Amino acid sequence: MYDPDQTFADVKAKVADSMSAVFPIVGGGRIITADKVWVEDNKNTYDLSSQKTARLKGRSWSVPIKASLVMRDEKTNRVIDKKTVHLADLPKVTPRLGMIYDGNEYQATSLLLLRPGVYTRKRADGSLVSEFHTKGKPFKLRLDPTSKKFSLDIGGASPDLYPILSALGIEDRVLEKTWGKEILEANKGGDPKSINRMYRAFTGKNPDSQAEATDYILTRLKNTVLDPEVTGATLSKGYDAITPGALADATGALLGLSLIHISEPTRPY
pLDDT in single tens digits along all 269 residues of the chain: 567 888 888 888 888 888 887 888 888 889 999 899 999 999 999 999 999 999 889 999 999 999 999 999 989 999 999 999 999 999 998 887 788 988 888 775 444 444 788 888 776 666 788 888 887 778 889 988 888 899 998 877 899 999 999 999 999 999 999 999 999 999 998 899 999 999 988 888 899 999 999 999 999 999 998 989 888 888 888 999 999 999 999 998 888 777 544 443 333 33
Amino acid 6: pLDDT: 80
Q: What share of the chain is helix, strand, coil (3-state, %, to 5)?
A: 35, 30, 35
Residues 6+ apart with CB under 8 A from 113: 133
What is the pTM for the complete model shown? 0.57
Apex 256 CA angle, 7 and 98, nearest 5: 25
Separation CA 42–CA 52 (nearest Å): 17
Separation CA 129–CA 107 (nearest Å): 12
Amino acid 266: pLDDT: 37
Name 142's bridge partners.
Answer: 129, 151
The H or E element spanning position 254 is helix 244-257
- Asked if residue 127 lies in contact with residue 153, where contact means CB atoms within 8 angstroms, the answer is no
Amino acid 221: pLDDT: 92
CATH fit for domain 108-257, picks 3.90.1110.10, 3.40.1010.10, 3.40.640.10, 3.40.50.1100: 3.90.1110.10
Three-state DSSP class for 121?
Answer: strand
